């Protein structure tokens, strides 16, 4: 096993042991700071409540990410095909991006009139911009000589897009996707906090709020662990996807052995 | 009859830079023509005008027998990193809408002719600079063009590789009957390869001199060390020196 796997694991175990020891020696009550063993125990005991919430949060995150890929990708292609469309629409995409989601979430919840839908819209709003801006950058970063070559062989806009611009944009798109994966989860959690309810079914953010009201701090930590684990899992999966798609040709996926 | 006629062509770019002024040039079918000049003399611009990638500001480019397929080789290999060597060579055929099996068969055949048999499934990043340039050459030739335009294709390669590619290019030219217009800033390369050399002067780009190289000379490694080769190189260098001494047009 390589150092990059062993080192963080050793570090993690050490920190957890230190945490547990500090909690025990200082006799900190669990409603202030539970030790990691108690958190793990709660995670197992409350699995019946936490698991359905995890699924709800996961569903909203993945749906938002899918919508972000679809809308962000299509808009990027549209922008690359028409300078006119890009000039008129891109400033609004930036406005959506720079407006804090917590500020507009209450409005969205009022308008959407359906909590599930409004959570999805919020998470999507946070997630789609990195995909849009990265894909636009990629679609423009095409070797100008290759563009000349395509023109020379009479390829129209469509063929140039499919055979040249899209493959050239793929590494950039995947970079944006990795950022968006994390943001979709953050958006889903933040929106649920703002909504203060999980709608038809409660997500992990609602479990944290609820545990806070009831002073069930170990359960709060357990829900937090699940959110972090979800974020890490999404990141690892998207990194793997990126590696599988690029490993044959892109510099970023090549081994460092030279 | 000539294949392409360049008739009084001038090119002024949008920023006001006059790249070419009144170029007239006949390119005979089947000849190997080099365009020699200092950097910034508009050689590449002339090549792009002939290819139809740029429009002349004045003058015309004529194709008396009708416009034909052409191949273009850039200074860099300009391969698509996401496609295999075979996919890169088959690209022009794919853009022409040829069926997969036929275009791959033709591309493989062309690869064998540039000495890359067995490299079909290799990725461009795994190739050396010289091999990449061979792939680029195969891609240009796979459409069986009447005219092959080459823009300082071997300038970035080491001398040993360049000499080998020079020899192989001449073989391909002899066997395919393609017309070659070869842009270079190397006197030695132009003399070794060409039947005719057009020397250009800069600011704005214009034809300064034309030289013919005896086509009866055998073009092999013995030619490189012959007295005739030395004499041609001296003459061409002198013409290039004259061209570079020419002041800007008033």
**C-alpha closest to that of A223 among A30, A69, A65, A51:** A51
pTM equals 0.87
pLDDT tens digits, residue range A24-52?
A: 999 999 889 999 999 999 999 999 999 99
pLDDT tens digits, residue range A49-78?
A: 999 999 999 999 999 999 999 999 999 999
C-alpha distances in angstroms, A91 versus A102, A126, A155, B77? 21, 16, 31, 38
The whole-number pLDDT of residue B66 equals 76
Set of chain A residues whose Cβ sits within 8 Å of the Cβ of B132:
none
The whole-number pLDDT of residue A64 equals 96
- Retrieve residue A160's tokens: 């140039």
**C-alpha closest to that of A160 among A175, A144, A137:** A144
State whether residue A100 sits within 8 Å of chain B by CB. Answer: no
Architecture of domain B2-68+146-245: 3-Layer(aba) Sandwich (3.40)
pLDDT tens digits, residue range B83-128?
A: 999 999 999 999 988 999 999 999 999 999 999 999 999 999 999 9
- Retrieve residue A85's tokens: 């469309």
Distance between CA A239 and CA B229 in Å, rounded?
58
Our CA angle for A119, A121, A122, nearest 5°, is 65
Among B47, B50, B81, B83, most A C-beta atoms within 10 A, so best to mutate, is B81
Chain A closest CA to B213's CA: distance in Å?
Answer: 31
- The residue-averaged pLDDT of B150-169 equals 91
- B32: three-class secondary structure by DSSP: strand
The whole-number pLDDT of residue B41 equals 86
Burial string for B196-213 (b: 16+ CB within 10 Å, else e) reads bbbbbbbbbbbbbbebeb
Spans in chain A with pLDDT lower than 70: 1, 197-201, 254-258
* Highest CATH level, class, for A36-246: mainly alpha
Residue of B52, B78, B81 with shortest CB distance to A145: B78
What integer best gives the mean pLDDT of chain B?
A: 89
The whole-number pLDDT of residue B32 equals 94
Distance between CA A182 and CA A231 in Å, rounded?
6
The whole-number pLDDT of residue A258 equals 47
Q: What percent of chain A clears pLDDT 70, i.e. is strictly above it?
A: 96
C-alpha distances in angstroms, B70 versus A55, A174, B53, B109, B180? 59, 36, 12, 19, 10
Using CB atoms and an 8 Å cut-off, which of residues 179-218 of chain A contact chain B? none
Distance between CA B249 and CA B244 in Å, rounded?
12
Using CB atoms and an 8 Å cut-off, which of residues 154-183 of chain B contact chain A? none
The whole-number pLDDT of residue B42 equals 87
Sheet order of strands, B58-62 included:
B18-28, B2-12, B58-62
């Amino acid at each position: 096993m390589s150092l990059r796997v062993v080192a963080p694991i050793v570090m993690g175990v050490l920190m957890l042991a230190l945490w547990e020891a500090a909690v025990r020696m200082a006799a900190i009550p669990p409603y202030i700071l539970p030790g990691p063993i108690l958190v793990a125990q709660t995670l197992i005991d409350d699995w019946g409540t936490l698991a359905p919430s995890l699924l709800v949060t996961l569903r909203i995150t993945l749906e938002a990410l899918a919508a972000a890929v679809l809308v962000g990708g299509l808009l990027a292609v549209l922008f690359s095909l028409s300078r006119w469309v890009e000039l008129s629409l891109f400033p609004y995409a930036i406005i959506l991006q720079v407006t804090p989601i917590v500020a507009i979430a209450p409005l969205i919840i009022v308008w959407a009139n359906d909590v599930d839908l409004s959570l999805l819209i919020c998470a999507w709003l946070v997630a789609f911009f990195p995909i849009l801006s990265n894909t636009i950058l990629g679609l423009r970063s095409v070797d100008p000589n290759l563009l000349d070559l395509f023109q020379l062989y009479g390829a129209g806009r469509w063929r140039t897009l499919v055979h040249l611009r899209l493959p050239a944009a793929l590494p950039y798109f995947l970079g944006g996707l990795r950022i968006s994966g994390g943001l979709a989860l953050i958006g889903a959690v933040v929106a649920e906090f703002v909504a203060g309810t999980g709608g038809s079914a409660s997500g992990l953010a609602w479990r944290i709020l609820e545990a806070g009201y009831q002073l069930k701090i170990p359960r709060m930590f357990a829900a937090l662990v699940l959110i972090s684990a979800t974020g890490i899992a999404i990141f690892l999966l998207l990194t793997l996807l990126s590696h599988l798609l690029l490993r044959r040709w892109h510099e970023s996926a090549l081994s460092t052995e030279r | 009859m000539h294949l392409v006629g360049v008739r009084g062509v001038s090119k002024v770019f949008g920023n006001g830079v006059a790249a070419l002024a009144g170029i007239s040039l006949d390119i005979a079918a089947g000849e190997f023509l080099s365009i020699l000049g200092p950097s910034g003399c508009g050689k590449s611009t002339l090549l792009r005008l002939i290819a139809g990638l740029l429009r002349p500001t004045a003058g015309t480019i004529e194709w008396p027998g009708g416009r034909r397929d052409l191949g273009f080789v850039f200074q860099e290999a300009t391969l698509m990193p996401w496609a295999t060597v075979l996919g890169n060579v088959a690209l022009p055929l794919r853009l022409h809408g040829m069926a997969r099996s036929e275009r791959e068969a033709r591309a493989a055949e062309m690869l064998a002719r540039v000495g890359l048999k067995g490299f079909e499934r290799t990725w461009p990043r795994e190739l050396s600079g010289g091999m990449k340039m061979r792939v680029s050459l195969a891609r240009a030739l796979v459409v069986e063009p009447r005219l092959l335009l080459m823009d300082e294709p071997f300038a970035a390669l080491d001398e040993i590789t360049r000499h080998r590619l020079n020899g192989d290019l001449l073989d391909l030219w002899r066997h395919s009957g393609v017309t070659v217009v070869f842009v270079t800033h190397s006197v030695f390369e132009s003399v070794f390869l060409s039947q005719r050399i057009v020397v250009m002067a800069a600011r704005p780009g214009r034809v300064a001199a034309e030289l013919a190289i005896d086509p009866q000379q055998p073009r092999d490694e013995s030619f490189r060390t012959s007295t005739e080769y030395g004499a041609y190189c001296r003459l061409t260098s002198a013409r290039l020196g004259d061209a570079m001494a020419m002041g800007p047009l008033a």
